[in-house]
Amino acid sequence: MIDPKQQRIQEILSEKFPQFSKELKADIAANADFKMVPGGATLMDIGQFIKVVPLLFDGKIKVLREDEEGNELFLYFLYPGEACAISLVCSGKEKISRIRAIAIEDSEFISFPIKFMDEWMLHHKSWYHFVLETYSYRFEEVLKTVDDIAFHKMDERLLSYLKKSKKAFGNNILNISHQDIACELNSSREVISRLLKKLEQRGQLKIGRGKIELIKLD
Amino acid sequence: MTKMQTGTTNKLEIRSILQENYGQVLEDELLDKIANVGSHRIAQPNDILIDMGEYIKTMPLLLRGAIKIIREDKEGHELFLYYLERGDTCAFSLTCCMGNKKSEIKAVVEEEAELILIPMQYMDEWIKEFSSWRNFVFQSYNLRLEEMLSAIDSIAFLNLDERLMKYLIDKVKVTNDTLLSNTHQQIADELNTSRVVVSRLLKQLERQGKILISRNKIEVLNF
């Protein structure tokens, strides 16, 4: 008889990680568990993801860099069908990096012990490709952040931040304060408010109480 | 690749250089294979090993010297990311070759560099065959990702004077020399700022007793 949990894992993997081979899906199903993180919770604080590989299949995660003084900087969003390379880095060294990952809505993972990460690279070509692609994709995202902060002005950065948030929240209305945006872009509330006003004057968005309505960002 | 001298072609010699530098990390059988297919090169300071937009066909193992990794935007503004040193490989070469993509960075020799270049086609094969190779490759990814994050930290969270001091100290460490021969313009380019600003901040660091400025030289006193 097939274990119902294993069957469920296999079904989810088939839908969200179609590139995985049949054998890999079976191996994951036999060794994995479900993990749920409620919207608003910080993943690294929960500490669940130090010794496991998390495969996100439902929800969305926001990844931020944090310095010793608590300054932060938005890096990217994680979507279903992805794993976080930085969590792989942390897992590999079993150390906690200065990365903060927050579930922006209720999120669900399939997670399995880190020791399989290496083992399966030998046996499953599709796993090996997935890990390499994850690294290379995150590398590019981090490089884009470098470009953003080094070469782009704050108005361009704000616009790109709003576009990414719109995609992640799947909504034209963002319930986010100017102060939050300022923190995540490592800027000041005054600067962000002024730039948002400018975008409003151009008819690209509408500023409301505790929310921003996006009209036309391109 | 431009302006690179071909080094020794003697396989035994290459094998022994590899043993010396990578003997701790990679297994014997793998080192034999690398010696067999790798080519040995010496590159001089300021040689550009790879430029933005070029295709990378080989993976470099650095035996000696230092290589500077620089990001450039469309308008030609530059930004220094990090140094590669002995025992390192470039994670960008890994991601680019895998996906057969164009290089997203520029690699410039800082200190005369000795390299072994491995044709990309062996990457996949060795990952399956050798666990030491697998560890080495993913360790490199991890290290470079950390370096990139720390580059982000210094641009996002440090003031320009702190970034400048960090840039000078990094360079002292990698060249093992407290006397640096960078021009102010060159530093300005790599930190994506202007020469005037850099000169002013260098003056300020000199007054604080951290450096000494002379003709075309900067001596780092305090690091």
B123 and B98 in a common domain: yes
Residues B156, A97: C-beta atoms closer than 8 Å: no
Q: Is B99 on the interface with A (CB under 8 A)?
A: yes
What CATH number is attached to the domain comprising A66?
2.60.120.10
A178 and A88 in a common domain: no
**For residue B194, what pLDDT band results from cuts at 50, 70 and 90?**
confident
B28 and B89 in a common domain: yes
- pLDDT score for B36: 93
List the structure tokens of B56.
């990378």
Q: How near does any CA of chain A get to the CA of B77, in Å?
A: 8
Q: Which of B127, B142, B151 lies closest to A146 in CB terms?
A: B151
B134 and B90 in a common domain: yes
- pLDDT score for B90: 74
Instruction: Please state the rounded mean pLDDT for residues A13-42.
Output: 94
A158 and A199 in a common domain: yes
Q: Which residue of B has its CA nearest to A120?
A: B128
Residues B141, A135: C-beta atoms closer than 8 Å: yes
Domain end marker among B104, B133, B150: B150
B112 and B61 in a common domain: yes
List the structure tokens of A169.
């929240």
Instruction: Please state the rounded mean pLDDT for residues A43-56.
Output: 69
Residues B145, A150: C-beta atoms closer than 8 Å: no
- Residue B193 pLDDT greater than 80, yes or no: yes
Residues B145, A89: C-beta atoms closer than 8 Å: yes
**For residue A94, what pLDDT band results from cuts at 50, 70 and 90?**
very low
For the ranges A58-67, A100-109, A207-216, B85-94, which has the lowest average pLDDT? B85-94
User: What pTM did the predictor assign?
Assistant: 0.79
**For residue B123, what pLDDT band results from cuts at 50, 70 and 90?**
confident
A198 and A131 in a common domain: no
Residues A143, B192: C-beta atoms closer than 8 Å: no
Instruction: Please state the rounded mean pLDDT for residues B27-41.
Output: 94
**For residue B1, what pLDDT band results from cuts at 50, 70 and 90?**
very low
For the ranges A6-10, B21-25, B139-143, B195-199, which has the lowest average pLDDT? B139-143
A79 and A52 in a common domain: yes
Domain end marker among B150, B184, B203: B150
- pLDDT score for A129: 85
Q: Is B125 on the interface with A (CB under 8 A)?
A: no
**For residue A192, what pLDDT band results from cuts at 50, 70 and 90?**
very high
- Residue A99 pLDDT greater than 60, yes or no: yes
Domain end marker among B150, B175, B190: B150
A residues 64..123 contacting B (CB < 8 A): 65, 67, 69, 71, 73, 85-86, 89, 92-93, 97-99, 118, 121-122
A194 and A98 in a common domain: no
Q: Which of A71, A145, A151 lies closest to B73 in CB terms?
A: A151
Pairing verdict, β A173-174 and A211-214: antiparallel
Which 8-state DSSP code applies to residue A42? B
A120 and A39 in a common domain: yes
A128 and A110 in a common domain: yes
Q: Is the separation of the CB atoms in B140 and B180 below 8 Å?
A: no
What CATH number is attached to the domain comprising B174?
1.10.10.10
A99 and A166 in a common domain: no
Residues of A in contact with B92 (CB under 8 A): 139
Q: Which of B98, B151, B157 lies closest to A136 in CB terms?
A: B98
- What sign for the dihedral angle of Cα A110, A115, A117, A120? negative
For the ranges A34-38, B69-73, B134-138, which has the lowest average pLDDT? B134-138
- pLDDT score for B96: 64
**For residue B33, what pLDDT band results from cuts at 50, 70 and 90?**
very high
Instruction: Please state the rounded mean pLDDT for residues B196-223.
Output: 90
B140 and B101 in a common domain: yes
A209-217 CB contacts, 8 Å cutoff, 24+ apart = A210/A175, A210/A177, A211/A173, A211/A174, A211/A175, A211/A176, A212/A162, A212/A173, A212/A174, A212/A176, A213/A172, A213/A173, A214/A162, A214/A166, A214/A172, A214/A173, A214/A174, A215/A172, A217/A159, A217/A162, A217/A163, A217/A166
B142 and B183 in a common domain: no
A188 and A136 in a common domain: no
Residues β-bridged to residue A206: A213
B196 and B112 in a common domain: no
- pLDDT score for A25: 96
More confident residue, A84 or A138: A138
Domain end marker among A129, A150, A171: A150
- Residue A158 pLDDT greater than 50, yes or no: yes
Domain end marker among A127, A150, A173: A150
How far is CA A2 from each of CA A6, A51, A147, A183, rounded to the nearest angstrom?
A: 7, 27, 50, 49
Q: Which of A73, A132, A149 lies closest to B98 in CB terms?
A: A132
What CATH number is attached to the domain comprising B34?
2.60.120.10
Structural domain count of chain B = 2
Q: Output the CA torsion A88→A92→A97→A101 (10° steps).
A: 30
Domain that holds residue A167: 153-214
A200 and A188 in a common domain: yes
Q: Which residue of B has its CA nearest to A137?
A: B95
B182 and B90 in a common domain: no
**For residue A50, what pLDDT band results from cuts at 50, 70 and 90?**
low
Residues of B in contact with A93 (CB under 8 A): 142
Q: Which residues neighbour A211 within 8 Å (Cβ) at sequence distance 6 or greater?
A: A173, A174, A175, A176
What CATH number is attached to the domain comprising A169?
1.10.10.10
Instruction: Please state the rounded mean pLDDT for residues A141-150.
Output: 86
Structural domain count of chain A = 2
Rounded to whole angstroms, the Cα distance separating A88 from A97 reads: 11
pLDDT tens-digit map of A63-90: 888 777 777 889 889 899 988 665 555 5
Residues of A in contact with B94 (CB under 8 A): 132, 136
B168 and B84 in a common domain: no
Domain end marker among A150, A183, A202: A150
Q: Is the separation of the CB atoms in B147 and B81 below 8 Å?
A: yes
B169 and B107 in a common domain: no
Instruction: Please state the rounded mean pLDDT for residues A29-57.
Output: 81
A207 and A179 in a common domain: yes
B181 and B100 in a common domain: no
Residues of B in contact with A144 (CB under 8 A): none
Residues B145, A135: C-beta atoms closer than 8 Å: yes
3-state secondary structure of A46: helix
Q: Is the separation of the CB atoms in A65 and A99 below 8 Å?
A: yes
More confident residue, A97 or B133: B133
What are the φ/ψ torsions at residue A117 (nearest 5 degrees)? -55, -45
Residues of B in contact with A66 (CB under 8 A): none
B129 and B25 in a common domain: yes
Domain that holds residue B127: 5-150
With a cut of 0.90, is the ipTM above it? no
A90 and A39 in a common domain: yes
Q: What is the 3-state secondary structure (H, E, C) of A145-195?
A: HHHHHHHCCHHHHHHHHHHHHHHHHCCCEECCCHHHHHHHCCCCHHHHHHH
pLDDT tens-digit map of B80-107: 888 998 888 877 777 666 666 788 889 9
Residues of A in contact with B148 (CB under 8 A): 139, 142-143, 146
